[in-house]
Amino acid sequence: MALKAIGNGVGGACHMTPRACLHPKSSLSLRMVERKESEKEMGPSPSSSNPQDQFKGLRSGDLEKNARALTRDCNALPKPLSSMDCLTSSDGSAIRVAYQGSPGSFSEDAALKAYPHCVRVPCEHFEVALKAVELWHVDRAVLPIENTSVGSIHRNYDLLLSHRLHIIGEVQIKVDLCLLALPGAKKEDIQRVFSHLQAFQQCEKSISDLKAIRINFEDTASAAQLIAERGMRDAGAIASARAGELYGLKILQNKLHDEDANITRFLVLSREPILPKTYGPFKTSIVFTLEEGAGMLFKALAVFALRNINILKIESRPLRTSPLRLVDDLNHGTAMYFEYLFYVDFEASMAETRAQNALGHLQEFSKFLRVLGCYPVDTLL
């Protein structure tokens, strides 16, 4: 398979409005009447074929009148697009970002960090968020990919191959989990706790001490919303402090997570890749499979070591029995079987010759190779 180079797609298509929509019939008729009246005042049109003869005998008043009519006609025409019309604002106020969950979720926090003034679009599932980008309902989607406490989110790795989107950025969010309940409720009154499975895993020790029944929910913010709407005084939710403020809940316990540094990394996905640069810290994410044989993984990793490229992350996914649906550039899906899929993040830009040579070398003995994205490295603030 030929190596797909990162393109320089920097935006969507600009759609022009048809002229028929810009010139209604009534406006056109009005201008024709004005033109006929003007012709009557100026007299019959010259019969000479010389264009300069048409201006003989015109008075200054006629020129001023025609200039005003021409100005009215020009104002009705569509103005040409400028470079500024094709750019979004620097604060992301014109960007629609899809995320999984309800308002107040950590995914929404990731969207706000990536684009502080964006329009946030909540979705029921991760699959819906990615599909919304493909269908042009939104411009971007944020997808959690790993957490420092519980590791990688494998299902979302598979979604990267099932959708033909590009990683254009990453966002790291510090996840502070709180135990929320209705005002007036006490910690000893909590019999049930609602939250997402990932949240339960991140605060395993604290939940065990609480001795309450755990109930998995779609996301942390939706769990807080449920308790507030139904007035469940014997139930608590594990969610963010911001979710508690949004739904009128109070915090019974703060920093419920077991690890002090509880950080979730999100990917920002788009229909088009960004233009990679050679300056500044850049990261490239790829996925590939290898031919069977001794030392094949060693050979794969050696293509980066030979060129002094630092590998930041490697993740393997065994898929011997389950087919994975791959989507090509034309959005055609194909079910394929792989022994293993290897996801690798390395510290280099695709604009660098060494990165291009490394992937060209890797392609020589890989059965499948795809560049998922090349994007700036995010730092935790």
CA 170 – CA 144 distance, rounded (Å): 9
Residues in Cβ contact with 207 at an 8 Å cutoff, skipping those fewer than 6 apart: 193, 200, 214, 238, 256
Please state which of the ranges 130-134, 258-262, 305-309, 327-331 shows the lowest mean pLDDT.
327-331
pLDDT in tens, 181-221: 999 999 988 999 999 999 999 999 888 888 899 999 989 99
SS3 217: coil
Which candidate in 126, 194, 200, 266 is catalytic? 266
338 a catalytic residue: no
Flag whether the pTM goes above 0.75: no
φ/ψ of residue 81, rounded to 5:
-70, 140
> Which H/E stretch holds residue 152?
strand 151-152
The C-alpha atoms of residue 196 and residue 39 are separated, in whole angstroms, by 76
**Per the residue annotation, which of 106, 126, 200, 264 is the catalytic one?**
264
Closest CA to 9 of 267, 269, 268, 271: 271
Comparing 87-101, 111-125, 223-237, the range with the smallest average pLDDT is 87-101
Separation between Cα atoms, residue 310 and residue 348, nearest integer Å: 8
Please say if 266 is a catalytic residue: yes
